[in-house]
Amino acid sequence: MSFIKSCMALTNFGSMMPSLSVEGAVYLVRCRWEVYVAYSPALLTKKHPILQSMGKWGKYKKKYNSKWEDQPGIRDWIGRVPNDDTKVMCRYCKCRLRAHNHDLHRHAQTSKHRSFAGPKASAPLELPDSGPSAFNSMSSYDVPHVLHPTAVEKAVKRWLLEDTPGFDHAGFVVGDLEETAVIMCKSPGVLAGVPFVDAVFHELDCWVQWKFREGAELYDIPCEVATVTGRARRILLGERLALNILARASGVAKKARRFTQIAQSHNWHGEIAGTRKTTPGFRMVEKYALLIGGVSTHRYDLSSMIMLKDNHIWSAGSITKAVHDARRVGGFSSKIEVECRSVPEATEAALAGAEIVMLDNFEPQAAREAAGNLKDLFPQLIIEVSGGITEENVSQLFSPYINVLSSSTLVQGYSVVDYSLKIVKPGHDPRNPTVTTPRTSMPVDPTMPSQALINSMMLTTADTGDGGASARDVEPQGLVQGEQGEELETTTVIITTTDDNVSIMESTGHSQS
């Protein structure tokens, strides 16, 4: 026992706990790294049944700490394991970890975790040399949860095959060397499309580390928004697809953010929504970008909500009949919206049981008046206004009686944001991709035909860059080694270059070997 006490004193981490067993009193000594069972001063072992019954982590007496839920770098992915407070769940990697602070931070640095959780890293939402970018929209950690992982993966695979259905000839040039590339934003925008870019590079066995949260306003440009690590060929396979996604998604989010800011500045609390006029095959990205920008997606597809437009009404015969027939198949779980061209049509739709009426192509003043009259008759009716709404006139439609303003400009009238991807090389500045290499002298072969020599020398001439003329004279006067007394023909070529032309002088002579 004195030996055990000595160990405890040396480690300064020990504690003794008496425990009874069939063998008598057993003392557990817990030092910094391990727990031992001591039967006598001469015996230390880790194989006692008491320790085996404690489980892998129980002997450390580490438990889930609720403070981790507020700790940067951990809070975004940590989760509890039901009925086991000695372990922690990683929500992104779907794995279990020991409830130990050191293990959590070590796990966060693994390549597997970063490939899944990198875009959700808890870096502050701010720009270099600027303050935080505040915006009123959903948390960027919540929005990706609306995406179905299988749907994203399927879309990404389809896009990659569309871009490279056969051979990747250019990929043969770069090979499989491990490289790092930077993604740069070169025009103002709102960062969006992160989960799709992650999926692109994950499909190619690369991983992305983001320097901004999704939804950050990128106005201090050019700026680096992410780094991509992986094999060179695979990075370049996903380059154009990833940049196309970022450019379009960020453009939609930027437009949506602008609409949101206008509504906030006028203290209007209704919803601004996009429409279904999206790009075929790209709807999921554009609808997702609307959420990042802070507006509503409206209905995602035809099954999301029953919307009866003019063609439906004309084909059915009347608004009332169309609404009743829609209710029969939609049941209680589907809302019905009717597109109306006048207040009488909107009144008929509300009386028939429609929950939403859309005032289509109304002038701003007429829309406000119609909405007020309808709200007096049907207080629970949701009123949407659509048609010709832009950033310039949207403020004219802000009214306490209007619940939704929908505009196709959000998904059809946006400008793309300019992004680029550059492989990082020593001494290379991604902001200025021009790489200047030192000019090297070219050895001259006197046996080369004069025209071939001229052509080869012209390839090495270059402008000095100052706008003035530059000249480079080459006088190869070589003698080919031959037998003694053999007469050889030599050629002297003088090449002078300027900005506008190249002058060449050639002379032929003979020499005696």
**Residues designated as active site:** 277
Task: Kindly report whether the peptide bond that precedes residue 222 is cis, defined as omega within 30 degrees of 0.
Answer: yes
Burial class (CB in 10 A: 0-12, 13-18, 19+), 7: middle
| Contact indicator for 225, 210 with CB cutoff of 8 Å | yes
- CA dihedral defined by 456, 457, 458, 461, rounded to 10 degrees? 130
CA–CA dist 36, 15 (Å, integer): 11
CA–CA dist 242, 183 (Å, integer): 10
DSSP secondary-structure letter at 132? B
CA–CA dist 19, 319 (Å, integer): 81
77-103 CB burial, b ≥16 within 10 A, e <16 = bbeeeeebebbbbbebbeeebbbbeee
Cβ neighbours of residue 265 under 8 Å, at least 6 residues apart? none
DSSP3 helix / strand / coil % (the chain, rounded to 5): 35, 25, 40
| Contact indicator for 214, 291 with CB cutoff of 8 Å | no
DSSP secondary-structure letter at 89? E
- CA dihedral defined by 99, 100, 106, 111, rounded to 10 degrees? 0
| Contact indicator for 45, 69 with CB cutoff of 8 Å | no
What token pair was written down for 412? Answer: 């059809």
Task: Give the dihedral sign, CA 309/313/318/322.
Answer: negative
448, HSE (Cβ side, Cα atoms, 13 Å) = 16
Task: Report how far apart, in Å, the C-alpha atoms of 144 and of each of 195, 214, 245, 414 are.
Answer: 7, 10, 15, 22
